[in-house]
Amino acid sequence: MDTTLVPQYICECNGKNYSDDKKLKLHMKTQGHLSWEMKNEMKSLKIELTKRDNIIASLERKLLERDQRIMVLKERSKVLKNCLQSKLDDL
């Protein structure tokens, strides 16, 4: 039984197995491969952009919720202040 390891030079863009490293590197310089790399990079960038847009949207929602809570607390503060002032005036 032969247990020799044989390296395989397979390109992800086309699944083709090249006979040696030089042929794979030569293929990687072709327009077809470079076009595939560009498409892959664009896809990755779009995914990253979508993730960051989602993070921004989430943070904007949190800011809006905090601003709304601040407004409610300010209103409550005014009511309490008026109530306390009224009590003081009664004394």
- Over residues 18-76, the pLDDT tens digits come to 999 999 999 999 999 999 999 999 999 999 999 999 999 999 999 999 999 999 999 99
Is residue 75 a part of any domain in this protein? Answer: yes
- The per-residue pLDDT for 37 is 98
Is residue 3 a part of any domain in this protein? Answer: no
Domains: count for the chain: 1
Is residue 4 a part of any domain in this protein? Answer: no
Alpha carbon 22 to chain centroid distance? 36
- The per-residue pLDDT for 89 is 82
Q: Is the pLDDT of residue 87 over 90?
A: no
pTM over 0.85: no
Determine if residue 52 is left, alpha or beta; phi over 0 gives left, psi from -120 to 50 gives alpha, anything else beta: alpha
Three-state DSSP at 28 gives coil
